[in-house]
């Protein structure tokens, strides 16, 4: 597992283009978290990729017009594959909220 | 106060657009309503795919941004193949689509499609306009991305109410791209390393792709190649970048490339790539592509590096900057003499075989056509066997003289693209070579040719098959010609007549005589020099094949040179 941190201007479609670079390669996306930074946005992805795909993704992301910076993080252990974050709200909580 | 439609057209004019191709419909009607007197000429094609291919043809031959317009829903989805084509072949293209009015977006309204979503992965940049105030900025930014860096397609989707609304308009704006900290210019240090590699090399070669043309660095490239004097070849989109008479030039490389080019590429120990993507039609089996070589890749788009094979030295940047930098470094050193290697790679024993077999008359026909073309003519090829024959026989040093759908391989491209080329170059001879399958995919554009009186010279290589697929079926599927038989084709001569276009048929037998008879030569000359549109249908042997051929998944060194004797 490899984590990627991509900073981008939050213009129309930019996040989708970032995600599409992974999905067009048939990569599962067990973790995706997009958040607003100070003046820009950042998305963190954890992907199961080989070395060749890392290079391809890195360059393809960087070719997107509103991507500012692409960084690759550390290689993660199998811990990331055990669940499917983000799971801030459990199904039970959702059910409870729906019933309320 | 101006309507949004008027603002769009003024912004297009500010971007230098005076010609657009399109097809009207409900959601984009306000834009059509505003065309008259805008200074933007609109060319009506007979299908939106014809419009986008025509815009591509215009862009490919001029280097300017081509513009296509269509309405929402089916109009916009009919543009998709052309958008994908422009992405693959780095064509600057802006597509303006009408969208249902803002209040209806997302309701599955009549003729509503999510064009922004549909085209997201095919475009370099796109926008759904949400406010009339955005129009000037969106158009300026769209054109910037279409033409900057590695050119590509842009979609601007405008709801019909934005086109109808009015606002104060202070004029078109300029777009200034945001600086990115990692936007690296070519590093000066690369030149030392490349020169050092060159000096260590025994068998260097150069491969030229479309990027060399797009950069506008053809004079610099040719000067550099003359200095290097190493065996050189081109991709299908690189044809015309190198002077064909150059003693080091080996022609086209790849699946249907020349024997000499493919062998040199297989044997080289240093591959200098100038603006090519190195796609699978060029590399063959990537694991056995240039197996002994270090690769130096001059490329503007970092996304193209290492896609199928890692390169040792990526040189990222505009070739108009990196080639001169390399050239000036080279001047400070003694360039080795690669005469020994050159004489092997360019030797007579690797020269192309004379055309023979069932394809011989068709190849001779193309040779006759091409040799009789006026200087600076533009040849368009559709997709299939005729495309590869035409590419193999193309023998011009005109950088934008050979236009085809190379990366996407979109049948039906050539005829509408020829419309765009002829409009851009009204005094140039435009020769459009198609197969009988591809011609029927956009045959309706004969009406556009007729309406505009464009003197396009159209050739159909009629083998009554989907020839390239049939060839693969013959060679790799035990002659199971599944659904490739087109023997019930209509009579193309009659069809052209229905469109009021002069047409005639030529039998392949006339090409068995070599040199061709005076009568045949005169017939071809009259065809090429006619001031009117013309269609020539050339009968091709149904089972003629394209050789050399590198089978899919094979190495370039494993090319088939001709039919197996048993077949």
Q: Which residues of B touch A (CB under 8 A)?
A: 116-117, 120-121, 124-128, 145, 150, 178, 180-182, 301-307, 310
Predicted confidence at residue B564, as pLDDT, reads 64
Pairing mode, strands B166-167 and B2-3:
antiparallel
Predicted confidence at residue B182, as pLDDT, reads 56
Taking CB atoms and an 8 Å cutoff, what residues of chain B touch A9?
178
Over residues A29-62, the pLDDT tens digits come to 999 999 998 789 999 999 999 888 888 898 899 8
Q: Residue B303 is nearest to which of A20, A52, A63, comparing CB atoms?
A: A63
pLDDT at B121 over 50: yes
**Please, which residues have CB within 8 angstroms of residue B190's CB and are 6 or more apart in sequence?**
B313, B315, B322, B325, B326
Predicted confidence at residue B256, as pLDDT, reads 96
- Please tell me the distance from the alpha carbon of residue B50 to that of residue B445, in angstroms, as a whole number: 7
Encode burial over B90-117: b for 16+ CB neighbours within 10 A, e otherwise. Answer: bbbbbbbbbbbbbebbeeebebbbebbe
First to last CA, chain B: 73
Q: Residue A65 is nearest to which of B121, B125, B304, comparing CB atoms?
A: B125
Q: Of B114-118, B273-277, B359-363, B556-560, which gets the smallest average pLDDT?
A: B556-560
Count of helix runs (H) and strand runs (E) in chain B: 23, 20
Taking CB atoms and an 8 Å cutoff, what residues of chain B touch A66?
178
For chain A, the domains span 2-78+86-99
Which residue on chain A is closest to B142 by alpha carbon? Answer: A65
DSSP B290: S
Grouping H, G, I as helix, E, B as strand and the rest as coil, residue B399 is: coil
Confidence of residue B188 (pLDDT cuts 50, 70, 90): low
- Please tell me the distance from the alpha carbon of residue B251 to that of residue B268, in angstroms, as a whole number: 16
User: What is the interface pTM, i.e. ipTM, of the complex?
Assistant: 0.90
Alpha carbon dihedral B86, B59, B212, B560, in 10-degree steps, equals: 60
Predicted confidence at residue B514, as pLDDT, reads 82
Q: Calculate the average pLDDT of chain B.
A: 95
Over residues B152-186, the pLDDT tens digits come to 999 999 999 999 999 999 999 999 988 776 555 54
Q: Residue B145 is nearest to which of A12, A65, A67, comparing CB atoms?
A: A65
Q: Residue B120 is nearest to which of A13, A52, A67, comparing CB atoms?
A: A13
Whether chain B has a CB inside 8 Å of the CB on A13: the answer is: yes
Do A56 and B306 lie within an 8 Å CB cutoff? Answer: yes
Angle at B295 between CA B292 and CA B301, to 5 degrees: 150
B149 φψ region: left (φ > 0), alpha (ψ -120 to 50), beta (else): left
pLDDT at B554 over 80: yes
Q: Is B510 in contact with B516 (CB distance < 8 Å)? A: yes
Place of tokens 């590869």: B388
Predicted confidence at residue B239, as pLDDT, reads 98
Over residues B16-65, the pLDDT tens digits come to 999 999 999 999 999 999 999 999 999 999 999 999 999 999 999 999 99
pLDDT at A83 over 80: no
- Please tell me the distance from the alpha carbon of residue B433 to that of residue B430, in angstroms, as a whole number: 10
DSSP B260: H
pTM above 0.80, yes or no: yes
pLDDT at A99 over 70: no
Q: Of B89-93, B246-250, B356-360, which gets the smallest average pLDDT?
A: B356-360
Nearest-neighbour CA in chain B from A63: distance (Å) = 6
Picking from A5, A6, A13, A15 by the largest number of B CB atoms within 10 A of its own CB, the best residue to mutate is: A13
Stretch B243-262: mean pLDDT: 96
Over residues B421-439, the pLDDT tens digits come to 999 999 999 999 999 999 9
Over residues B55-102, the pLDDT tens digits come to 999 999 999 999 999 999 999 999 999 999 999 999 999 999 999 999
Stretch B340-366: mean pLDDT: 91
pLDDT at A81 over 60: no
pLDDT at A94 over 80: no
pLDDT over 90, % of chain A: 52
Predicted confidence at residue A77, as pLDDT, reads 45
pLDDT over 70, % of chain B: 98
- Please tell me the distance from the alpha carbon of residue B149 to that of residue B321, in angstroms, as a whole number: 12
Do A59 and B306 lie within an 8 Å CB cutoff? Answer: yes
Domains in chain B (CATH in brackets) are: 2-167 (3.40.50.970), 190-350 (3.40.50.1220), 357-558 (3.40.50.970)
Stretch B115-130: mean pLDDT: 98
pLDDT at B137 over 90: yes
Taking CB atoms and an 8 Å cutoff, what residues of chain B touch A25?
none
Q: Select the more confidently predicted residue: A28 or B309.
A: A28
Grouping H, G, I as helix, E, B as strand and the rest as coil, residue B533 is: coil
Which residue on chain A is closest to B127 by alpha carbon? Answer: A12
Over residues B207-216, the pLDDT tens digits come to 999 999 999 9
Grouping H, G, I as helix, E, B as strand and the rest as coil, residue B206 is: strand
**Of B168, B100, B149, B92, nearest in space to B123 by CA:** B92
We find that the CATH architecture of domain A2-78+86-99 is 2-Layer Sandwich (3.30)
**Of B495, B496, B492, nearest in space to B538 by CA:** B492
**Of B493, B477, B480, B394, nearest in space to B436 by CA:** B493
Whether chain B has a CB inside 8 Å of the CB on A10: the answer is: no
Stretch B400-415: mean pLDDT: 98
pLDDT over 90, % of chain B: 89
Predicted confidence at residue A86, as pLDDT, reads 32
Stretch B181-205: mean pLDDT: 79
Stretch B178-206: mean pLDDT: 80
Taking CB atoms and an 8 Å cutoff, what residues of chain B touch A17?
120-121
Which residue on chain A is closest to B130 by alpha carbon? Answer: A12
Do A9 and B178 lie within an 8 Å CB cutoff? Answer: yes
pLDDT at A78 over 80: no
Predicted confidence at residue B543, as pLDDT, reads 96
């Amino acid at each position: 597992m490899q984590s990627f941190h991509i900073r981008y201007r939050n213009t129309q479609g930019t996040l989708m283009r970032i995600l599409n670079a992974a999905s067009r390669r048939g990569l599962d996306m067990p973790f995706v978290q997009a958040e607003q930074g100070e003046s820009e946005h950042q998305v963190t992805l954890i992907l199961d990729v080989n070395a060749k795909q890392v290079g391809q993704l890195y360059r393809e992301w960087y070719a997107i017009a509103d991507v500012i910076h692409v960084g690759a993080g550390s290689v993660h252990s199998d811990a990331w594959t055990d669940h499917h974050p983000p799971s801030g709200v459990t199904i039970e909580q959702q059910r409870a909220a729906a019933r309320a | 106060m101006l309507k949004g439609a008027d603002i769009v057209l003024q912004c297009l004019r500010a971007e230098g657009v005076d010609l657009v191709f399109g097809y009207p419909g409900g959601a984009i009607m306000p834009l059509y309503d505003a065309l008259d007197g805008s200074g933007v000429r609109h060319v009506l094609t007979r299908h939106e795919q014809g419009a986008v291919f025509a815009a591509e043809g215009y862009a490919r031959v001029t280097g300017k941004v081509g513009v296509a317009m269509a309405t929402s829903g089916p109009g916009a989805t009919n543009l998709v193949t052309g958008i994908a084509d422009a992405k693959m072949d780095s064509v600057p293209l802006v597509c303006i689509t009408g969208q249902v009015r803002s209040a209806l977006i997302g309701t599955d309204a009549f003729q509503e499609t999510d064009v922004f979503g549909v085209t997201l992965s095919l475009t370099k940049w796109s926008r759904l306009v949400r406010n009339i105030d955005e129009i000037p900025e969106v158009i300026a930014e769209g054109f910037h991305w279409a033409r900057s860096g590695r050119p590509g397609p842009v979609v601007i989707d405008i709801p019909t109410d934005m086109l109808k609304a009015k606002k104060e308009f202070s004029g078109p704006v300029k777009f200034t791209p945001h600086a990115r900290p990692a936007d690296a210019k070519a590093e000066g240090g690369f030149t030392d390393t490349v020169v050092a590699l060159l000096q260590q090399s025994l068998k260097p070669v150069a491969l030229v792709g479309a990027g060399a043309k797009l950069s506008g660095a053809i004079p610099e490239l040719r000067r550099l190649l003359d200095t290097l004097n190493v065996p050189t070849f081109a991709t299908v989109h690189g044809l015309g970048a190198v002077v064909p008479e150059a003693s080091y030039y080996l022609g086209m490389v790849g699946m249907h490339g020349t024997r000499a080019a493919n062998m040199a590429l297989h044997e080289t120990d240093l591959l200098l790539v100038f603006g090519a993507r190195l796609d699978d039609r060029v590399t063959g089996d990537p694991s056995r592509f240039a197996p002994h070589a270090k690769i130096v890749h001059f490329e503007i788009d970092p996304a193209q590096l290492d896609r199928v094979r890692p390169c040792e030295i990526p040189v990222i940047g505009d070739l108009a900057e990196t080639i001169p930098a390399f050239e000036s470094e080279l001047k400070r050193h003694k360039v080795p003499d690669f005469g020994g290697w050159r004489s092997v790679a360019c030797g007579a024993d690797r020269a192309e075989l004379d055309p023979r077999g069932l394809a011989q008359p068709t190849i001779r026909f193309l040779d006759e056509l091409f040799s009789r073309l006026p200087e600076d003519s533009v040849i368009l090829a559709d997709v299939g066997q005729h495309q590869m024959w035409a590419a193999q026989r193309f023998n011009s040093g005109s950088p934008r003289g050979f236009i085809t759908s190379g990366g996407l391989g979109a049948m039906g491209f050539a005829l509408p693209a020829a419309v765009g080329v002829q409009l851009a170059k009204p005094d140039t001879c435009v020769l459009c070579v198609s197969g009988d399958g591809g011609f029927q995919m956009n045959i309706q554009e004969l009406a556009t040719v007729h309406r505009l009186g464009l003197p396009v010279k159209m050739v159909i290589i009629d083998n009554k098959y989907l020839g390239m697929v049939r060839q693969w079926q013959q060679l790799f599927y035990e002659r199971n010609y599944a659904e490739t038989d087109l023997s019930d084709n209509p009579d193309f001569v009659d069809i052209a007549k229905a469109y009021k276009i002069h047409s005639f048929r030529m039998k392949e037998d006339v090409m068995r005589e070599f040199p061709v008879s005076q009568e045949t030569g005169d017939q071809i000359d009259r065809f090429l020099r006619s001031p009117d549109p013309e269609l020539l249908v050339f009968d091709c042997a149904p089972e003629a094949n394209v050789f050399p051929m590198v089978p899919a998944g094979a190495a370039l060194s494993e090319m088939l040179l001709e039919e197996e004797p048993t077949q």
